[in-house]
Each structure stands twice: as structure tokens, then as C-alpha cells.
Structure 1
Amino acid sequence: MSEESRRIIAADVVFDGESAHRDCAVVIEGEDIVSLILRREIPRGATVLELPKGVWLAPGFIDIQVNGGGDILFNDEPTPEAIATILRAHRKFGTTSLLPTLITDTDEKMIAAKRAVTTILPREPGVLGVHFEGPFISPERLGVHRADLCRAPQPHHVEMLAPRPGGVSLVTLAPEAEPPGFVSELVAAGCKLALGHSMATYAQTRAAMSEGLTGFTHLFNAMRPLASREPGPIAAALESCAAYYGLIVDGEHVDPAMLRLALRAGLGHPMLVTDAMPPVGGSAQEFLLQGRPIIVRDGRCVTTEGALAGAALDMASAVRNCVAMLDLPLERALVFASTHPANFLGLGKRLGRLVAGYRADMTAFDPQSIRVVATWVAGAPSTEGAPSTQDAPSTEEW
């Protein structure tokens, strides 16, 4: 490819997934990053997109738990068109790739979800695969999952859950509720496994981890709580260097004090997740979840009884909350939003960093407000406009 075909994006700060570099530029050819160079090294006469003053450029956010967005619930519409709408809704908030997430449902709906993802994968790099959150979960930790749809796995479920070529299949389950060998079978079939909606003991969690389970879905929520004589899955997650645990940092699902404690004590890899519902990137303030009314009230998705039902959280807000609520350096929050999820999914040699050879998935944002001004997926700029704010300029001003 010729020098003329290279695209250069320059920023006051480029965060490459490990370090922040000042007055740098990212050089792109096709879908990939060729190099990071200093501004002063940009060839004379090159066409350069100069990001607005003060804006950071960082790896695009990767969200592994997205139930919906743009007023669409994936369970209601497991189609390629619905996935495309969800992608557009989340891209405005810096999410360049995600896993559409199907909560506990019928086999027919699971098959439809997998078919939709398989169909859109070749043409939409922002879709990394599918997340099946259930149905093999504990009746004692349902959350808003329907009890009548929870069930024990059958032999055909291994093939049903196995990933298709080029895609990831993440399965959230309660290991204590599964027959012997099921966790190992799913791992052998290529699935990524996460404990969630579970009453597993510490010993049961450790046993599942020895069989290949590495993830924990929304740590603290919908799982056996940490206790002095039964530490359960939370302790098993935090003490393992190999564990990856999703955190919903909205100030509602988990008290910030608990999250700060976990981040200080944990040896594993925190990941920001949204657990997003249809209102994210949409306009409706209420929706139905498998026939059950859900209302957005004070920024929370709740049932009519007041129970949490997913979240009205986007990834830019999750990063912002990490800095404001958890007192984290911005760079560390960005790692939680991109590098760690990429590594968990087995995509850490392709996504989650801005270095040579990686796909050019990037987000540009104001570092004070974490307001997103632009995104790129596989080198292509997003056609979605950034949220209108006074803190960040629109792309039309560049």
C-alpha cells in the first residue's frame, strides 16, 4: 500500500493501552495500525486528521455484556438488524465492539440469537460473538431472569453454545448447578465461561476454574456474597491472577466502597461492563423484559417493585465513574474498558491496544468529561454522531 493511502490521526495524547504518549499520531493502513509516531515525525505534505485540542485517542471500548440499546432488547429481536441498531447506539459512547447478550430464554431464542450473530459477523467487525447469560443458572440467584426458563443443560446444548469460526461464545452459568463434566465440555468446545447468577461455594468455584472457567459476570451481583466462613466465588475471583471479572460501575449495582476494596485487593483483571438495556442510546424510558414492565427511574432500570433490571449505563459513563467514584487514574480505567476485555475473550493480540499490527479500533474523547467525539472501527470512522455536549466539539468542526 502506498504512502498516499495511509491515514494519520494526531492527538495531544494517545493512550496505547499501557502508556499515554503526548503529541503523537496513529498511522493506519486499511483496517490496521502501522505505527505510532511523534507529531514532529509526520511526513511533510501528509494528510492528517488533527483531533481537537486536549482530546485523547485510546483503544475503543469493548463491552462483553450488552442486553440492548437504541430502544432494542436483543431477547425481543435476535436479528442482524437489531444487532446493528444496538451497535449504533453504543458506538456514540466509545464502544467499538461488543457481545450482544441474550439473557435466559428458550432454546429456539438461543438458536435465533446465534444465527443472527453468525450472519452479521462477516460484515460487522464491531460484533465479536455472542454472550449467553443463562439459562443454566441458580434459581436462588435469578435477578430478573425468569425461573420457568432456567433449566439443566442437555447434551445438545454443547453444540448449540459452541462458537462459530471467527466469533466468540461467552456463557454465564452457575457451575454448582451443572452436571459433572459440563464445564470441561464447553471449554473443549471453544466457549469462554463466566460464573454468574450462582450460589457456588468457594470450593465449587475453584473446581470450575480448574476446568477452564476464567470469568465472573458482574462481580458481587447475583452471586453468593462474601462471608467469613464461606468466601464463595467473590474471594475465588479476587485471589486468582487468572480471573477476569466484570464490574458494573454505576453507583447502583455495587457500592463504590466495595469496588474500591476489590480493586485494591484483587489480583485478577477487572473489566468494565454496562449490562445495558434498551434505553442506552435510545429515547424510551420504559420497556418490557419478557413481558415484565421495566422503568428507567433516576438513571436506574427497575421493575415496578423497584428491583434492578440491567442498567442504563454506557461505557463512557463507566469510565467516567471509575475516575470520579473510585478515584482511579484515567489510564487504568481505560485498560478496564478495552485491554482486559480483549484479553479475556482471547483477542488480546488484535484488539485492546493502539500498536502496530492491531486493528484500528479507537475512540477519541475529552479527558475531563469523558465525552466521546469520534470512534473508528477497523480503521473506518463511525457514521454515528457523538452525543451533543458543550464539553466536546462535534466532528463537523474538524
Structure 2
Amino acid sequence: MTSAGFFDMHVHGGGGASFGEDPEGNRVAAEWHRAHGTEGMLASLVTLAPDDMLRAVSVLAEAPGTEGIAGIHLEGPWLSPHYAGAHDPRLLREPDLDELERLLDAGGGHIRMVTIAPELPGAIPAIELLVARGVVAAVGHTDATYEQTLQAISAGATVATHLFNAMRPIHHREPGPIPALLENPTVTIELIADGVHVHPAIYRMVLAAVGPDRIALVTDAMCAAGMPDGPYQLGQLPVTVISGKARLTDGTIAGSTASMADLYRFAVTHAGPEVATLQTSINPLRAVGI
């Protein structure tokens, strides 16, 4: 464990509970991660229907200070249907500034980060609004072109949500979002270094490309973290965990069951303790402005 304690800027749950509109569930999830060395975290919400998301944000706005919860991360609903990942595609929608304003107001200043697919109609004005409100805009779950991603970065996006996972892959003639996010020094790169989401060689490649200071390791953990194999729920979608790997019925990876301590050990193995400390505490804290 690092002397500063871990900070997880992208985590959906753990210990059998998910972050959302149940205050006790929020406490249980945060408590499980805190017991595994995570001193601070952003409570991440998957895509929900508008009223459900508003209720969840309103409840979580009361949670900062509870077992290390430091704020809220909205991972959706403004994501690409082509790269929905473990988000219910029926609930994905185009960015709407009125809805975004309502959520930010309901969050009472506690929404720290929002993930958006920049190719969606209305995405760039939404990113500009987030930046104006002091919220970190992240690019993720996206089918964006290289040029569209550069436009998002110019508008103020500063985080890549779990790079490689749920985004258009690299092609040597159509680079897509990944090279644009890697080459811009203002962007912090999230990686789910749990040994499932990205191969160790990919972690080492990104480390060589951007250096140790721009990578923030995140768990993207769901409620099954710390729990036995079996059936679970992520938002509206059923998830099955087998050998610690969470997947939807079609085989899509549905978050992780990892703790930040697991990611720290991964980084120690592949980059050493100093880099591991940067990427599990200092870098994510800086990325979300804490």
C-alpha cells in the first residue's frame, strides 16, 4: 500500500453493493474499498433513465465524506451505442444541456467527472458546459474519429475513460480516439490494470508512450468485488462472475472485481513501487482536482 493511500477515480461498487440511490449500499460499497486501502474514491454511476439518474445523484450528493467518497462520476448516459460496454443501450442518449444542468445542480458541486462520447450531437457544447462548471470532462465509450477526439480535447476534455476498453480501436489509416488521447499532454489516461481489461504489454506500451505521470489506474469495480462467483446486476443488466471475471450474457466485460491494492501490485510488478504510487494515488487525485 502507498503511504498516501489509494484514490480510485472510477468505481461502481464493491462488497455486494453498487453506488446509487441506496445510502446504505453506498456506505457498504465504499467501506469495502476503504478496507482494501482506498482512502478516497469517486462513486461512479452507470447509465440510468433520466429520473433514476437524478435520484441517484441527489442521494450521492449527500455521501461525500462517507467512507472516503469524495465525489460523483457519471459514466453515461451520453455514450456511443456502438461501444456501450456494460451500459444498457436502451437508455443511452444524446447529450442534452438541460438534463446535464439538472444533474449538476442536483449534485450540489459534488459531480467531479462526466464521461462523454465526443462524436454524439451536442457533445462538444456539453463538454464546454462541464468545464465551465468546474467538472472534469472525460472521453470514453466512444466511436469518435481522431479529429473528433481532438475537438473534445480542445473543448476541455482532460481524461480518457479506461483507454482501449469500450472505444474504437487503432487503425493505421483511421487512428480513432486512442492516439489523440495518448499524444496530448493534458490528458490523463485511465487504465484498468486488473490483468483482464488490458494485457501487461499494453500497460508497458502506454507507460513508455506517455510516462508515469499521466496514467491513473482505476478499478472500474462493480458490486461483485470481494464477493463469490455468481449472478449479479450492474444497472439494469445481468452480470455473471466466473473466476473473478464479470461479464454480460453476451460475453462483454462488465467492470472488474479488483481493488486498488490489486492494481498497485500489478504496477509494482511492471513498473516498480514509485510508479505504482503515482498511478494509484497522486495522479488520479490530480486528474480530478482533489
* Structure 1 match to 2:85: 143
Query: What amino acid is the match of 1:66?
Result: V
- Report the secondary structure of 1:65's partner residue: strand
Partner of 1:383: none
Q: Which residue of 1 aligns with 2:46?
A: 103
Counterpart residue number, 2:125: 181
Q: Counterpart of 2:33 in 1: which secondary structure?
A: helix
1:284 offset after TM fit, Å?
6.0
Alignment of 1:160-175 (within 5 A): 160-162=102-104, 164=107, 167-175=110-118
- Which deviations, in whole Å up to 9, do the C-alpha atoms of 1:160-192 show, x marking residues without a partner? 342755634311110110315222122112221
Which runs of 5 or more residues in structure 1 are unaligned?
Answer: 1-55, 348-398
After superposition, the Cα gap between the structure-2 partners of 1:259 and 1:194, relative to the gap in structure 1 and judged at 3 Å, is: same
CA distance in 2, matches of 1:303, 1:166: 33
> TM-score, structure 1 length as denominator?
0.68
Other-structure match for 2:63: 120
Tell which structure's C-alpha radius of gyration is larger.
Answer: 1
Does residue 233 in structure 1 map to residue 168 in structure 2?
no
Structure-2 separation of matches of 1:291 and 1:222: 18
For 1:301, the equivalent position in structure 2 comes to 246
Secondary structure of 1:207's partner? helix
Give CA-to-partner distance per residue, 1:68-87, whole Å, 9 cap, x none: 1110122xx42322211111
How well do the aligned residues superpose, as a CA RMSD in angstroms? 1.8
1:299-337: CA deviation from partner (whole Å, max 9, x where unpaired): 21012333211111110001111223xx21111011100
**Matched position secondary structure for 2:69:** coil
Please state which structure has a larger fraction of its residues in helix. 2
Preserved CA contact (<8 Å) 2:222 2:234? no
Amino acid at match of 1:241: P
Aligned residues: 287
Distance in 2, Cα, partners of 1:168 & 1:87? 17
- Label 1:84 to 1:125 Cα distance change in 2 as closer, same or farther (>3 A): closer
| Counterpart for residue 22 of structure 2 | 79
- Deviations along 1:259-306, whole A, 9 cap, x unmatched? 211110125610010010112134563212345331211221012333
* Greater strand fraction, Structure 1 or Structure 2: 1
Report 1:312-331 matches (<5 A): 312-324=257-269, 327-331=270-274
Identical pairs, percent: 38
Query: 2:86·2:237 contact (CA, 8 Å) conserved in 1?
Result: no
Gaps spanning 5+ residues in structure 2: where?
none
Q: Residues 257 and 174 of structure 1: is their aligned pair in 2 closer, same or farther, counting only changes over 3 Å?
A: same
Distance 1:156 1:346 in 2: 25
Q: Is the contact between residue 160 and residue 189 of structure 2 (CA under 8 Å) also seen in structure 1?
A: yes
8 Å contact 1:162–1:169 — kept in the other structure?
no
Q: Which residue of 1 aligns with 2:148?
A: 204
Report what 1:158 is aligned to. 100
The residue number in structure 2 matching 1:63 is: 8
What's the TM-score, normalizing by structure 2? 0.93
